[in-house]
Structure 1
């Protein structure tokens, strides 16, 4: 038996695709699109393999799920105003 994670959801956003379903995660409010063959439904939650939840949580599923990376602010170049 594999380890599973029970992820609470606040609703199903889209279930028209026969292979995938989009749910809203209750903790973050973010939409999550999942393959139907990898998840099962429980009342108010989605049950998925622990390895899948770890990949989603770490942001390895794509750039949409990653936290924004802040880039350092570049210092503005100033011209030397002093005359030589």
Structure 2
């Protein structure tokens, strides 16, 4: 495949991805929670302890490092494709 064809295909893909993202975000208001006024939004929360300690018995203090993650589905961002070129 010639280099110019690869560049053209890459540019076409970037254009398609840009159009998809622009379409998904058109009219999207991130200040409003998903399903507002329709249903409860289920939020999944994960907390991973990555380190624990040192522990001070005398001061009753300890140090803990965690990784905190939340995830939920936002139907407003659902891709309703396919898209035309």
Task: Give TM class, smaller chain.
Answer: under 0.3
Q: Which has the higher strand share?
A: 1
TM-score (norm 1): 0.20
Higher RCO (CA-CA < 8 Å; seq separation 6+): 2
Q: Which has the higher helix share?
A: 2
Q: Which entry has the higher C-alpha Rg, 1 or 2?
A: 2
